[in-house]
Amino acid sequence: MVRKKSQVKDREVERLIKTDISEMKKVIKDKDRQRDVEEKIRKDMEYENSLEGILQHLRIWGETATEDKENKGIIAETLLKLPYKVRMETLSEVVFVIVTAHGLTTKVTFPIVLSKGDIKQKGETYHTIVEHPLIVLNFKKRMSKPRKMDTIAHEVAHFILGHHKVRNLTNQRKIINERKADDQAEKWGFKRRYEDYNL
């Protein structure tokens, strides 16, 4: 099942490359220049869809961000198996935190300062809040790599399904969300995270 999903992902990436090349050829008429740009488009897209490219864009907080290369690699490997659009949305919006038994998808707020260059009014400083979805991965010491990947996919599914946006859920709603996240992760070729939904 995972191999089939990978092939679908590859076709999606190839379609995006063809679209970019087609758009480029409308703008650039010189054939030599077109070949150069086409090669660059392909190399950029191949890099973006490689473990190295994902690792470069992956945002991880905590001490383990630098110390725990194995778990960082497992997150990247899991994201590589996801559909292209899911992967790109996750990389652009989610911050991962690795701590030391289950995952958690939530959101965190960052206070940032905007200066006059960021806003049209001059001479003033503004404070605002930016929210980022946060996936906290709380791996057990003896958790296997496949189990970690299933957990990561399950938590990404929560993010894609928008579960991080709602607070104060009833127990019944939590159970429904866990099933939906497992259903989505299973569609991507991963195993279900829960056998029993009695939380």
Which of the residue ranges 17-31, 32-46, 61-75, 83-97 would you say has the lowest mean pLDDT? 61-75
Q: How far apart are CA 158 and CA 174, in angstroms?
A: 11
Q: What is the CB-side half-sphere exposure of residue 88 using CA atoms within 13 A? A: 10
Structure tokens at 26: 């409308």
Residue 44 predicted with pLDDT over 70: yes
Q: 19-30 pLDDT, tens per residue?
A: 888 888 888 888
Q: pLDDT tens digits for 82-132?
A: 999 999 999 999 988 887 545 555 555 544 444 444 444 444 555 555 567
The predicted-structure confidence for 131-151, as pLDDT tens digits, reads as follows: 678 888 887 778 899 999 999
Q: What percent of the chain has pLDDT over 90?
A: 32
